Structure 1
Amino acid sequence: MRVMKWSMIALAVSASTSQFAVASSQEESKGFIEDQSLTVLTRALYMNRDFKNNPSTAQSYREESGVAARAIYESGFTQGTVGVGVDGFAFGTVRIDGGTGRAGNGLFARDSDNNLEDTQSKVGGAVKFRLSDTVLKHGNQFVASPVFSTDDSRLLPEVATGTLITSKEIKGLELTAGHFNAISSQTGMGDDGLGLTSADIAGATYQFTDNFVAGVAASDIEDHYKKKYINLNYTLPINEDQSLNFDFNGYDSQDQGQKLSGDVDNRIWSLAAAYAIGAHKFTLAHQRSTGDTGYVYGTDGNGTIFLANSIQYSDFNGQDERSWQARYDLNMKTYGVPGLSFMTRYVTGDNIETGGAEGKEHEWDVETKYVVQNGPAKDLSMRVRAAFYRANSDYNAINGNDNNDLRFIFEYPLSIL
């Protein structure tokens, strides 16, 4: 259940164009050591899910908490025509609470006796090469493509293994292509955990104007499915204090080969309109799924669902489902409390094909976050997320169970180099 970051592609392309200059990135390289960085992120997470004693699940309550630390090193590139560098990471988790009888939220792996691991650790790295404004990276890495995306919704992120090329040679245009042969789960300490054998991806985004960006992507997940994706994002400035944004996302998915993810035949799209005025943002979104199945993802990463109504618990991606969202965001900086924000949204879906009666579902989310602005704890963030999910009996039998999902998340980023 991936919460889409608003205008992710637009932000990425804007960043690339703002950095574009006559000289290429490689020509401006200061060196392997001179451009290096080392960051450490500490994340503490408490998570419980109450399935309201639903008879269709043997475990009606799940509760776990833990702390994770991730150190990520990124070297600069050596000087010269072709720059060379390395990236590396070291992860570790410690379980604070959550016995075997309350497990199931995806925070910890299990040992050979089916008990939750008390501690876990993982290390990895990649080598990278840069020619002009084109970078090739091979090894362990984090990927954020709409058709192949590593999830980071628990203590540690998924990690993909393979090769990714990113090119920004033309102002406003970003091209990507990659081949991956493994992706670890968020609790997996090995190279694989999601059943991936081979994934080929390609994508392009182009900033047509300061306010309009479009992107396309495609993937071939061996013996699972093929996907095509499109994104259109347009912002209409009204005045210095107001703007209107439109964001369209669409997928076309078809099974292939051995169909290891089952039958897949789906077209799904979402359109969101967001009106921002001062500290307030009001969003309306509609999402619609058609085809012989719902939208399927996971083998290609549990973040691979760039849709407006993919929220905290549900994705609203059932077969033939139609869903609507109303959302409100508030930034308290305008009212003298910088770093404090609030969000609430409601999504309802219907017309879901269940093989019987019409499936229906709805979810209400509430979230607040505070980021310390200065002092010794600067950038420490505290976040509370709550979701209340309900579905009728026909869809519960297919999709899961009624659920209250509560999470407390503390994060502290530290830049060492």
Structure 2
Amino acid sequence: MSMTKTVAIACACVSLLPLEASADFMADSKASVELRNFYFNRDFRNGPPTAQRDHAAEWAQGALLRFESGYTAGTVGLGLDALGMVGFKLDGGDGSGGTGLLPADLSSRNGRGSQDEYAKLGLTAKAKISETVLKVGSLAFRTPVVSSNDTRLLPATFEGALLNSKDIDNLTLQGGKLTQIKFNSSSNYQDFTGNRVGGVSDEFVFGGGTYAFNKALSVSAYYGNLEDVYRQYFGGVVYEIPLADKQSLKFDLRYSKSTEDGNFRELDNRAANGLVAYTLGASVFTAAYQRMSGDDPFPYIANSDPYLVNFVQINDFANSEERSWQVRYDYNFAALGVPGLTFMTRYVSGDNVRVAGSNTGKEWERNTDLGYVVQSGPLKNVGLKVRNATVRSTFGNDLDETRLILSYTLALW
């Protein structure tokens, strides 16, 4: 039975419930609308336009209508979530598409135009017993072995089944089976592909959990399998130490081992990475290190987010045998009497990348974010974020990128 049929049957079952059983279903429900106005400009700095495309730029308006029901009364509570999304092109330029905001118009000049609009609908049936929830249908979530991406106009989603359980004290368990992915700028589901390592699959199975010994210390272990492409094993530790008033020290250590699955070509990657963050009042100082070992880059599902400390605005610094380090600074201007205003800047440098048989590849990326969310008045919850990035590489593209994002979220009930 397909996921679509499963969701349809669940919706029909909920509609047949008596009114008294549906009370919690409606009373505990919530709905909101989110508007996103997104401008994306990326300049390619590797040579004259005659050698390759020189830039990509798009401007688009998106809207997301979210509905999350409560659960029906009884031992097994049933519910339904829905996410309707639509995106409109405001300016795609002539041949400057390809930013990921809008679907490509392959009939345009050079195939680099953008479609005028697109829409997608996600439905999710859910069932709850005690503190265990099963969701089937459209899914957006984050785990150390698979995470949905939400860095463009509209989020990417998976189709499949997801189980979350918190019935055991201090232990959170997650597991599931995913069958397809819907890219940020697509209205249709498609099979999975392995980022950088290649391979196509129609099934990703995963499971694991996090145990919190106390508020300061937690450990995680996960397993993920992209059928016929790769297997991945993850272990992590997070430890946060309070030092004094408004001061703390946080350690986040991660390790992954990835191998081939099925008849896929041999695959070998080991990713050791971690960070230490020192919080001092409104400031956070962070240092991170990431090391790739083995013959291959870090494998993950294309158009999803890898769980790596040096996965930043553009790059993931996860090439074969790459070593990379990061320094970062965050500041919250609420300490100066401007709540809602935040600042972040970071620099990541990578080297030792395996290129053409030798470890000579180098790259670096610099990011700066400035964001503000209106705290009160008629414009409350209006947010503005400016994101800027610069990338320089001896083996890939040199890029300059700017993103402007204006957003507004309104709770309907």
Instruction: State the partner residue of 1:327.
Output: 328
Change in CA separation of 1:53 and 1:408 when aligned onto 2, cut-off 3 Å: same
Aligned residues: 379
The match for 1:206 among 208, 211, 224 is: 211
Q: Using the TM superposition, give the Cα deviation of residue 191 of structure 1 relative to its aligned residue in structure 2, in angstroms.
A: 2.0
| Partner SS, residue 49 of structure 1 | strand
Instruction: State the partner residue of 1:374.
Output: 376
Q: Using the TM superposition, give the Cα deviation of residue 413 of structure 1 relative to its aligned residue in structure 2, in angstroms.
A: 1.0
Aligned-residue sequence identity (percent) comes to: 37
The match for 1:42 among 35, 38, 41 is: 35
For residues 205-250 of structure 1, what are the alpha-carbon distances to aligned partners after superposition, in whole Å with 9 as ceiling and x for unaligned?
A: 1111111111111111112111111221111101121100111122
8 Å contact from structure 2 (residues 352, 359) kept in 1: no
Q: How far apart, CA to CA, are the structure 1 residues paired with 2:244 and 2:57?
A: 47
The match for 1:91 among 72, 85, 90 is: 85
Q: Using the TM superposition, give the Cα deviation of residue 296 of structure 1 relative to its aligned residue in structure 2, in angstroms.
A: 2.1
Q: Using the TM superposition, give the Cα deviation of residue 111 of structure 1 relative to its aligned residue in structure 2, in angstroms.
A: 4.1
Q: 1:389-408 alignment to 2 at 5 Å?
A: 389-392=391-394, 395-396=395-396, 401-408=397-404
8 Å contact from structure 2 (residues 100, 185) kept in 1: yes
The match for 2:221 among 216, 219, 230 is: 216
- Unaligned 5+ residue runs, structure 2? 1-21, 194-200
**Do structure 1's residue 264 and structure 2's residue 257 form an aligned pair?**
no
| Partner SS, residue 40 of structure 1 | strand
Q: Using the TM superposition, give the Cα deviation of residue 193 of structure 1 relative to its aligned residue in structure 2, in angstroms.
A: 5.8
Instruction: State the partner residue of 1:226.
Output: 231
Instruction: State the partner residue of 1:302.
Output: 304
Residue 409 of structure 2 aligns with an amino acid whose one-letter code is: P
The match for 2:99 among 100, 105, 115 is: 105
| Partner SS, residue 104 of structure 2 | coil
Runs of 4 or more consecutive aligned structure 1 residues displaced over 6 Å after TM superposition: none
Q: How far apart, CA to CA, are the structure 2 residues paired with 1:101 and 1:407?
A: 19
Change in CA separation of 1:153 and 1:124 when aligned onto 2, cut-off 3 Å: same
For residues 339-366 of structure 1, what are the alpha-carbon distances to aligned partners after superposition, in whole Å with 9 as ceiling and x for unaligned?
A: 1111111111111111245111111111
Instruction: State the partner residue of 2:349.
Output: 348
**Do structure 1's residue 135 and structure 2's residue 140 form an aligned pair?**
no
8 Å contact from structure 1 (residues 361, 389) kept in 2: yes
The match for 1:72 among 55, 66, 70 is: 66
| Partner SS, residue 32 of structure 1 | helix
8 Å contact from structure 2 (residues 118, 186) kept in 1: no
8 Å contact from structure 2 (residues 192, 203) kept in 1: no
| Partner SS, residue 200 of structure 1 | strand
Residue 269 of structure 2 aligns with an amino acid whose one-letter code is: N
8 Å contact from structure 2 (residues 192, 202) kept in 1: no
- Unaligned 5+ residue runs, structure 1? 1-28
Instruction: State the partner residue of 1:22.
Output: none
Q: Using the TM superposition, give the Cα deviation of residue 141 of structure 1 relative to its aligned residue in structure 2, in angstroms.
A: 1.4
8 Å contact from structure 1 (residues 184, 194) kept in 2: no
For residues 278-320 of structure 1, what are the alpha-carbon distances to aligned partners after superposition, in whole Å with 9 as ceiling and x for unaligned?
A: 1111111111110001112224x521x1111111111111111
Change in CA separation of 1:377 and 1:193 when aligned onto 2, cut-off 3 Å: farther
Q: How far apart, CA to CA, are the structure 2 residues paired with 1:191 and 1:321?
A: 33
Residue 360 of structure 2 aligns with an amino acid whose one-letter code is: E
Residue 399 of structure 2 aligns with an amino acid whose one-letter code is: N
Q: How far apart, CA to CA, are the structure 1 residues paired with 2:266 and 2:385?
A: 38
Change in CA separation of 1:292 and 1:352 when aligned onto 2, cut-off 3 Å: same
| Partner SS, residue 251 of structure 2 | strand
Task: Pick 1 or 2: higher relative contact order, CA cutoff 8 A, min separation 6.
Answer: 1
Instruction: State the partner residue of 1:363.
Output: 365
Residue 319 of structure 2 aligns with an amino acid whose one-letter code is: G
The match for 2:290 among 278, 287, 292 is: 287
Change in CA separation of 1:264 and 1:45 when aligned onto 2, cut-off 3 Å: farther
Q: How far apart, CA to CA, are the structure 2 residues paired with 1:199 and 1:311?
A: 24
8 Å contact from structure 1 (residues 185, 194) kept in 2: no
